[in-house]
Amino acid sequence: MTDNSSHPAKSYTVSLHYDRRLYKHDVAGSIAHTKMLARRGVITDKDAELIATGLAAIREEIELGEFLWRDDLEDLHMNIEARLHQKIGEAAGKVHTGRSRNDQVATAMRLYTKEVIIKTVASVRALQRALVTQAEANLTTIVPGYTHLQRAQPVLLAHHFLAYFHMLERDAARFQEAHRRADVMPLGSAALAGAAYSLDREWVARELGFSRISENSMDAVSDRDFVLDYQYAAAACMMHLSRFAEELVLWSSEEFGFVRLADQFTTGSSIMPQKRNPDFAELARGKTGRVYGHLVGLLTVLKGLPLTYNRDLQEDKEGFFDTVDTLLATLGVFAPMVGTMIVRADRMLQATEAGYMLATDLADYLVRRGVPFRKAHGVVAELTKYAASKGKTYKQLGLEEYKKFSPDFAAGVMDITEEASLAARDVPGGTAPARVLEQLEAAKTTLEAAGG
């Protein structure tokens, strides 16, 4: 329930409609702060108990939907404090001893950020598991590898899937580093200069699960770098998801036909009953720009702010919260979408065999017979033009046709196949089956170490 009686001009400053999601973190910060005040003798144990009990009851009211939110109180923090006054009387006025809304909100934001980073990394891991499962099921499936969206060289589909695993692994590392940076408690910095009471900041940090406290009170209340860290990591992650989405859009089209997405991840047309539009992948691609916008928006807010707190910092939340919601929803869609999609190995192989994707292997064959690579490259280029003019694949050419372009071609050239091409890439990180299997086992080990 919300009281909408606030004055129109006053409503411009209201943040309650979005910052209320911080209620658990705000309450936790207030309870820890109150307990510490009692431990230091700043307030009595009786008052601390009253405050903590009242705050816990308010948290329950919010969770049950029974809390009356008042827009005229502007934000979450003042709403909770006002309700605490209603519940316990004058003792509520002591909860704000030795702190400001500046360090209060910074603390709640850091607690929230740490919490959502853990959820985000778990969602990244879920998608990585789906990719590993698909890779394991497609260890012998050959697919065209592309450059410039042109067929280039054959690769194992498992190798392709694991490329996205590694992108996501970098994303997980960025989020984990963002967690480390967010894991600093600003409470006790007060408005900007620190509190005028003997506070035990280290105790409060331990109580709230922070590993360390801030070292400069002016920086602590005006720092939103930890939000930027999440925003950037989210933008990079959405970029990776968007790249994958683009491939799923292409691969699920009739022109490619490489995969079939499950029905729950496609939609029909309002006029064409045969359509299976990859709308979920398309939306992921589109929502990426939205996340980019929030990153740029916050950078713009921060770029002109003098120390310390300025009301501009109220604008750190809406975009951030939307980024969190968008990324978690997108990851939540991708894991089952990837896990349930059907791979059309026959179509992939047809596409591999139809192109001239063994050209590099033919050049390498000549190199092994003593032909300089640049010369071999030119020979195979002419051979390919000839084959295309005749409407033939390399496999359909006879040995005499090969010899027209170089006397160094011999019977062994007829043994060059897609499978031989894969096997030849037997270098660390290559697409040779043994190397891909190594990569797959390493990915499994990574997930096991991460608890997944």
Catalytic residues: 148, 269
SS (H, E, C) the chain: CEECCCCCCHHHHCCHHHHHHHHHHHHHHHHHHHHHHHHCCCCCHHHHHHHHHHHHHHHHHHHCCCCCEEHHHCCHHHHHHHHHHHHHHHHHHHCCCCCCHHHHHHHHHHHHHHHHHHHHHHHHHHHHHHHHHHHHHCCCCEEEEEECCEEEEEEEHHHHHHHHHHHHHHHHHHHHHHHHHHCEECCCCCCCCCCCCCCCHHHHHHHHCCCEECCCHHHHHHCCHHHHHHHHHHHHHHHHHHHHHHHHHHHCCCCCCCEECCHHHCECCCCCCCCCECHHHHHHHHHHHHHHHHHHHHHHHHCCCCCCCCHHHHHHCHHHHHHHHHHHHHHHHHHHHHHHCEECHHHHHHHHHHCCCCHHHHHHHHHHCCCCHHHHHHHHHHHHHHHHHHCCCHHHCCHHHHHCCCCCCCHHHHHCCHHHHHHHCCCCCCCCHHHHHHHHHHHHHHHHHCCC
What radius of gyration do the chain's Cα atoms show? Answer: 30
Provide the greatest CA pair distance for the chain: 100
